Amino acid sequence: MEIQYILEIIGTVVFAMSGALAASERDQEQDWFGAAFIGFVTAIGGGSLRDIMLGSYPLVWIQDVTLLYIIIGAVVLSGVFYKWLLKLRRTFLLFDTMGISIFTIVGMEKALSLGASPEIAAIMGMFSAVMGGVIRDILTNEVPVLFRQEVYASACLVGAAFYLGLDYLEVERNTNFISSVLLIACIRLIAVKYNLSLPKFNRQQRQP
């Protein structure tokens, strides 16, 4: 089993769990179907958008039905261990960080395999990582994390550029995968810990 597929499975699990937990945390009366639906779109949203933009059909979760069972299993685990998971500090943040870190590299690798240029592949990796979370936040009536004052998508782009640099230097593929995933995770967690953000985009209004 290739590391790309292993990482995709791990990313699918953590994103499905983050979606289910977000649904339940937002609405204490959320039923199993609602939590499962949000977990599902969180896990497959970014990858589906990537495949549509790249013209890659069938979509990855349609081609590999195993991913559906993995998502269902992740949602069930989230429900069974819900109270325990919420007791862990920053559980939601950790799941989301793991998800974007893994899906950035998986998505970029998929784009490269389809013949996309490195620049486009980096963007596709970012889309794979963040769009599932954007859909999750919209469905749970939250401001999407992409639009908050946080280091999020930019961390994905840095990790994508790092991957491309190591690939250019012919670093062993599995080492490159793991190193790039860890870099994205570290950037995101450090930014949250120290409240780091990118410069604000402010328009100075002219005085009358």
pLDDT, tens digit, for every residue of 36-61? 999 999 999 999 999 999 999 999 89
Q: Which residues contact 21 (CB under 8 A, 6 or more apart)?
A: 78, 82, 85, 86, 91, 92, 95
What are the residue ranges in the chain where pLDDT is below 70?
A: 1, 26-29, 87-91, 202-208
First-to-last alpha carbon distance for the chain, in angstroms, is 66
Predicted pLDDT of residue 105: 95
Predicted pLDDT of residue 53: 94
73/131 Cα distance (integer angstroms) = 22
Predicted pLDDT of residue 204: 58
187/160 Cα distance (integer angstroms) = 12
Predicted pLDDT of residue 1: 57
Predicted pLDDT of residue 129: 95
What are the structural domain ranges in the chain? 3-193
